[in-house]
Amino acid sequence: MGLKAHFVYNKFMKYILTIIAIYAAIIMIMSYDFNASDADYLIVFGSGLDNDRETFTMVNRVDRAALYYKRNRNCKIIVSGGVTGNNSVSEASVMRRLLIERNVPVEMITMEENSINTKQNVANCIKLVDKDSKIVVCSNDYHILRIKLLFLKHGYKVHSIFCRSMPVELFVHLPLEEIFIIKNLIDKD
């Protein structure tokens, strides 16, 4: 690679990394919600399974939801996620089991098992909540903006709690994926 090509490549990489860093900062700012207490419903979004077992990301979301429930005991929890990939159980059923293991009463948990993506999660969960109820969503920081936009498209304002992502997720793969998904959401309007 010649000196000029190397210079151009370095400039390009700095530009891309700057965009990703700015996006990550926006996601963190947009994800933080001071009004997330005292919800009527907490919706926990699935994150995929690994051979019918929970993933690190799912455990983080469930831990965050269980902590939220301990502080808001009147909150009903909806776990949302269907059977995806080569799995034979739903994400919702695994999250339900994990919440019960964390002492959340079974009668406080509702499963939504028909969704295989975020758009379906939102559409199916809307059918399970009252229109005038306070809804808090639980997912990873990079995912919250898309969830909030999808709820807004259905006429719902939701609050959020989030789990931090691993640095590799937050700064490399997922911001690029989220940018294209959110762009498509906006372009469809």
pLDDT of residue 13: 75
- Domain 12-187 belongs to what architecture? 3-Layer(aba) Sandwich (3.40)
What residue ranges of the chain have pLDDT lower than 70?
Answer: 1-7, 20, 23-24, 26-32, 34, 166-189
For residue 91, the SS3 value is helix
Q: pLDDT at position 36, please?
A: 79
Give, to the nearest 10 degrees, the angle between helix 3-31 and helix 174-187: 70
pLDDT at position 27, please?
65
Q: What is the gyration radius of the CA atoms in the chain, in angstroms?
A: 18
pLDDT 10s digits, 119-162: 999 999 999 999 899 999 999 877 888 899 899 999 999 999 98
Residue 176's pLDDT is: 61
pLDDT given at position 185: 67
Which of 48, 102, 33 has the alpha carbon at shortest distance from 80? 48
DSSP E strand stretches across the chain = 41-45, 49-50, 53-54, 76-80, 109-112, 135-140, 159-163
Evaluate the CA torsion angle 32, 34, 35, 40 in order and state its sign.
Answer: positive
pLDDT of residue 131: 87
